Structure 1
Amino acid sequence: MNIRHKYLPNLSDLQENGFLVWPLKSGLGRLAVEAVQDFYDQPLADRAALVPDGFDPMGYTPSEAETDDLLAMRSKVPASFTGQRRRGYASFDFLATPASIAPSGLVGSPMSLGDVGLQRRVAGVTASLRQLASHIAFALWDAISAEFGAPGWPRSALSGQTCSITRLLRYRPGELEISKAHTDYEFIALIISDEPGLEVRNHRDDWSSVDAPSGCVIVLPGDMMGLATDGAIGASVHRVRCNGRLRHAFIQFQGLAYQTALDHPAMTTFGNHLCGMLVRGAPRLAAAHAAGLLPLSFQPPLHNPVGVKAHVF
């Protein structure tokens, strides 16, 4: 993979702006955008077949409008987010290594699309982005160690069977004008999209529109970046403003190995943090756990214990 190994992260820019722009392998951005567009060009019924069963936190989650369409079609629908929060977008999540979350008691199924050709393309883009995300994460870990001292967890936590989710997103015009501001749970997230709309809150609490130049990817620091730097580089608070446009995004999260110990009084390991937030954010899983039907190896938190409070201005 032709990564520019001499490209080094600028921690000052990351602290000030809340994001980095990183060069991509030639053509990778186009392949990512085409893959996610083709995924959402499939009939809704085909995507609904990917709605998860049991205790799987991955799979397809339709938007509220799609849920209404599926109900009208009498098709399979997930537990609604109505009364919980407005999503306003559809998402498909999967893990390249589903066994990475097994210690939690959750079960992550592998990606399985009905269109074999599309599955190969999505898998190919995912493999390239996972390799790039790992490379960027190592570069950031090294830069952080030089600037602030080594994080409380080892560099090796970024390699091997990490809890790293891939997400395919679609925002449709008219469903939601602006998404809820939030942080990501992982170390970093790589974002490629076909339309602008991503907004990041900088250290002055100002919102700025972020659009990657052609051939580049946006890199956002997550909760684990904040822990690694003791808050010197906070998790990026971000949102999406749709502006009436159809928008697709291919997102690769870079997490840590499940058993990575975290130096935080409210958490034990990264895997417990991530899976706890996945359960908290999925009504069907939260209800199953509350009813004693979903035995977990830990107690999910009531709120994100490390996420920055994401005010909406």
Structure 2
Amino acid sequence: MTRNFQTVPVVDIAGLGAADPADRQAVADALGRAARETGFLYVTGHGFGPALIADLLAAAQHYFAQPMDAKMASYIGRSTNHSGYVPEGEEVFPGGKIDRKEAYDIGLDWPAGDDRAPMMGPNLWPEDPRFKAAAAAYYAAIASLARRLFGGFALALGLPQDAFEPYLTCPPSQLRVIHYPFDPDAEPDQQGIGAHTDYEFFTLLHGAAPGLEVMNGQGQWIDCPPIPGAFVVNIGDMLEAWTNGEFVATSHRVRKVGEERYSFPFFATCDYWTVVEPHPAFVTPERPARYPRLVSGDHLLAQTIATFGYLKHRREGVSQAPVFGQEAKTI
């Protein structure tokens, strides 16, 4: 498969809720084609309330307009479960440049004292009830949409629509509220976010301005501008591994930011301790397993440690044992 696409496909997913199995399968087949050939797609017909997006955008604009000391009161390094304010320069992909952005990271709001997995616990919220209310409402709605897409992807792979349900009891999916500030003096090679693939199963993104680019099989960067009323969906590392490369995680980036931009990616994943390895349905003598067995949350945690400065600092002086398994809880 050459994957030399020049545009990102659009899939109307309204039929995933249809009573007729043939209608559901038709949508799933379109999802599968996009996941195999591009790794990126737009989804429409999702029924997501536009007021939820408007409320979060207004709350984000108010929050990020505050002085730095007010934002740093909720600095992510103060959290126990990787939630809170992320200043510019805190997050750098290995080998990359500092991204020109700031963000607020929000996870599954989990009760304190329930330490069943790293990166789970109560969110660190700012002293801003409007922001908390808007972000929590958006998180609940986008998590519900992600669950529907898990069902669609299952059908696309020839599996029962509820195949992922046993792994979605308390997934540590993350919502990022990202602000790319206006910068008329940005360097020509300045990036909003450097080239990368996403760590989780898939991402649901609302972007309020252009900037997102996707790499095709020829190494060309293809523009992925916002489409009104649509979410961008892209396949992540875990779904690529689970399907033995049947679905592909495609590299993407945010190009030089001149105008102010907001985006809300939701990184949809399965329960932390979900074991991910090529599913037997996608392993044959002609196509042996291409990916090692790993734990979904451990992969996410290891990649997060490699990216965030505060986590690297916490690990200074700690033995460089593998970050997988129980040892990961030491962060």
Bin for the TM-score computed over the shorter chain? 0.7 to 0.9
1:1-313 aligned at under 5 Å gives the runs 5-6=17-18, 8-9=27-28, 10=30, 11-23=32-44, 24-25=46-47, 26-27=49-50, 28-52=52-76, 53=78, 55-64=80-89, 85-98=97-110, 102-106=115-119, 108-146=121-159, 155-174=164-183, 176-263=190-277, 266-292=292-318, 297-298=325-326
TM-score (norm 1): 0.77
Amino acid at match of 1:48: M
Amino acid at match of 1:288: R
In 1, are the aligned partners of 2:104 and 2:177 still within 8 Å (CA)? yes
Number of matched residues?
A: 282
Structure 2 counterpart SS, 1:134: helix
Amino acid at match of 2:182: P
Q: Which runs of 5+ in 1 are unaligned?
A: 65-77, 301-313
Q: Aligned pair in 2 of structure 1 residues 216, 111: CA closer, same or farther (>3 Å)?
A: farther
CA distance in 2: counterparts of 1:271 and 1:99, whole angstroms: 18
CA distance in 1: counterparts of 2:60 and 2:37, whole angstroms: 31
Cα deviation, 1:47-70, whole Å, max 9, x if unaligned, reads 211103265432211114xxxxxx
Cα RMSD after superposing both structures: 3.4
CA distance in 2: counterparts of 1:84 and 1:240, whole angstroms: 13
CA distance in 2: counterparts of 1:99 and 1:254, whole angstroms: 20
What is the percent sequence identity of the aligned residues?
22
In 2, are the aligned partners of 1:177 and 1:244 still within 8 Å (CA)? no
Equivalence for 2:4: none
In 2, are the aligned partners of 1:16 and 1:202 still within 8 Å (CA)? no
CA distance in 1: counterparts of 2:79 and 2:58, whole angstroms: 31
Q: Aligned pair in 2 of structure 1 residues 178, 286: CA closer, same or farther (>3 Å)?
A: closer
CA distance in 2: counterparts of 1:187 and 1:81, whole angstroms: 19
In 2, are the aligned partners of 1:57 and 1:282 still within 8 Å (CA)? no
**TM-superposed deviation, 1:275:** 1.3
